[in-house]
């Protein structure tokens, strides 16, 4: 579904917010030249803000590629918002909850990836970790999770994001347990059959976008692009929400329109067709 010229007022959108993986990225690690050229065409009149579950350094290299390094970034699904070296907001999972998650993970043979700002800790160099290294151009520190948590206790910090890496069977078992014990305070998200992402519940991509609006701006000034469950709130409440063709059906159902899949440069195609500067 694509907006008709009669109902789509391209001039009203001052800000473009886009998810990365499965949305703006045509591959797992890079943006296409077509996407770069379309962002270049609009960026002088439209603020382009990257909104992702990724850590900062896994986003900044893409900002450079797109020529938007002067714009803020929303990391960890809104738990960390940065503008260059300036930290706009930071919300972490508390140590008590981290120990509880670690205990459950150990009981169910599930490994943790722990993220704080640009720190990423894992225990083993698994195939899943190697994929993440390739996709995000980031390198973890290999260390026992207990040692990492003790270190973080000493430093009085927490996690911006936790990744639970197991099998489909262990993930099916542990997800409802986590939801029962921690669901009131934490957001749990199945990124696929074997991965569970955990983030603070008080923040989201949408709350982060709201924090970046100028005094004369509102959510109606924002056009947003996404593909997955953690994009639904953003697409639903921004001025115009666009799902890429490969998005989950639940995302397409709430979006204002659907563009081509990410591997066919759906965001760039939508910009080219509808955002005439």
| Domain ranges, ordered by start, for the chain | 10-90+203-274, 95-200
| Predicted pLDDT at 183 | 94
Q: 86 forms bridges with which residues in the sheet? A: 83
Round to whole Å and give the CA distance between 193 and 213: 35
Residues 196-210, mean pLDDT to the nearest whole number: 96
Four-way CATH pick for 10-90+203-274: 3.40.50.2000, 3.40.50.1000, 1.10.1240.10, 3.20.20.10: 3.40.50.1000
The number of residues in the chain equals: 277
Reported confidence tier of residue 11, pLDDT bands at 50, 70, 90: low
Domains 10-90+203-274 and 95-200 share a fold: no
The model's pTM is 0.92
Q: CA 96 → CA 83, 112, 149, 189, 249, distances in Å? A: 30, 16, 10, 20, 36
| Predicted pLDDT at 6 | 40
Reported confidence tier of residue 12, pLDDT bands at 50, 70, 90: confident
The tokens for 10 are 């391209």
Residues 87-97, mean pLDDT to the nearest whole number: 97
- Among the residue ranges 139-148, 176-185, 187-196, 205-214, the one predicted with the least confidence is 187-196
Residues 118-125, mean pLDDT to the nearest whole number: 95
| Predicted pLDDT at 146 | 97
| Predicted pLDDT at 190 | 86
**Of 11 and 179, the one with more pLDDT:** 179
Residue 96: is its pLDDT beyond 70? yes
Round to whole Å and give the CA distance between 263 and 30: 11
162: nearest Cα among 228, 249, 101, 213:
101
Residue 2: is its pLDDT beyond 70? no
Percent of the chain with pLDDT over 70: 96
Residues 146-159, mean pLDDT to the nearest whole number: 97
| Predicted pLDDT at 5 | 44
- What is the dihedral angle through the alpha carbons of 132, 196, 48, 257, rounded to the nearest 10 degrees? 120
Architecture of the domain spanning 95-200: 2-Layer Sandwich (3.30)
78: nearest Cα among 50, 48, 113:
50
């Amino acid at each position: 579904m694509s907006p008709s010229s009669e109902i789509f007022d391209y001039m009203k959108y001052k800000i473009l917010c886009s998810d990365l993986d499965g949305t703006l990225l045509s591959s797992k690690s890079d943006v296409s030249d077509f996407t770069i050229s379309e962002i270049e065409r609009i960026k002088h009149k439209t603020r382009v803000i990257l909104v992702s579950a990724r850590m900062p350094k896994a986003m900044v290299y893409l900002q450079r590629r797109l020529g938007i390094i002067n714009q803020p970034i929303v990391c960890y699904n809104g738990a960390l918002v940065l503008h260059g070296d300036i930290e706009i907001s930071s919300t972490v999972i508390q140590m008590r909850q981290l120990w509880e998650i670690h205990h459950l993970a150990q009981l169910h043979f599930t490994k943790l990836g722990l993220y704080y700002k640009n720190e990423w800790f894992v225990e083993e160099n698994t195939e899943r970790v190697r994929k993440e290294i390739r996709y995000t151009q980031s390198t973890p520190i290999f260390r026992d999770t207990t040692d990492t948590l003790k270190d973080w206790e000493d430093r009085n910090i927490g996690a911006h994001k936790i990744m639970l890496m197991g099998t489909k069977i262990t993930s099916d078992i542990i997800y409802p347990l986590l939801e029962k014990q921690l669901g009131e305070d934490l957001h749990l998200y199945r990124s696929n059959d074997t991965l569970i992402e955990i983030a603070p519940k008080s923040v989201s991509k949408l709350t982060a976008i709201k924090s970046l609006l100028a005094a004369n701006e509102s959510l109606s000034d924002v056009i947003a692009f996404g593909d997955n469950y953690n994009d639904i709130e953003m697409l639903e409440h921004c001025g115009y929400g666009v799902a890429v063709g490969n998005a989950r059906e639940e995302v397409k159902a709430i979006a204002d329109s659907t563009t081509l899949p990410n591997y066919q440069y759906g965001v760039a195609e939508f910009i080219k067709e509808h955002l005439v500067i």
